[in-house]
Amino acid sequence: MEFTHFNESGRAKMVSVGEKDDTNRMAVAKGTIIMSEETFRMVVNGTHKKGDVLSVAQMAGIMGAKKTSDLIPMCHNIFITGVDLNFEMDSENNAVHITAVVSTIGKTGIEMEALTAVTTAALTIYDMCKAVDKNMVIQSIRLTEKLGGKSGHFIREGA
């Protein structure tokens, strides 16, 4: 395997996907944000003075997926057919586990959009809560599943 984002001079290039077939594509990404017990309670109960943290993070994640090609230089601007985020509340660890599912019908994958959705949602939670908790940690952002294209179906081990 070689990196494909470099031309013969060693400079960056955007890979051409023009000859590829359109296929149904889907990607799932996950990540976690860990916070203090007090901050976790505010997020769960919706009592943060800035409002409903998870609703704002939901919208931010969707917007992040839609803006991926503006943020990641070699990502193609693709037509997204769906974005959904889920927040699992983990009271044992004062953590919010974030899952994004993103889909398209197109010539290139949607993994970066799913990863950006999770990252943007986590950063939004951090931003809204940083005034009360500067020790939050965003971790384990990863692709857990991908479907479509010639590489087929990928499922991360232990996902």
Active site residues: 127
- 47 neighbors 159 (Cβ within 8 angstroms): no
CA distance 7 to 28: 30
CA distance 20 to 28: 22
The CA-based angle 52-55-58, given to 5 degrees, is 150
CA distance 45 to 28: 27
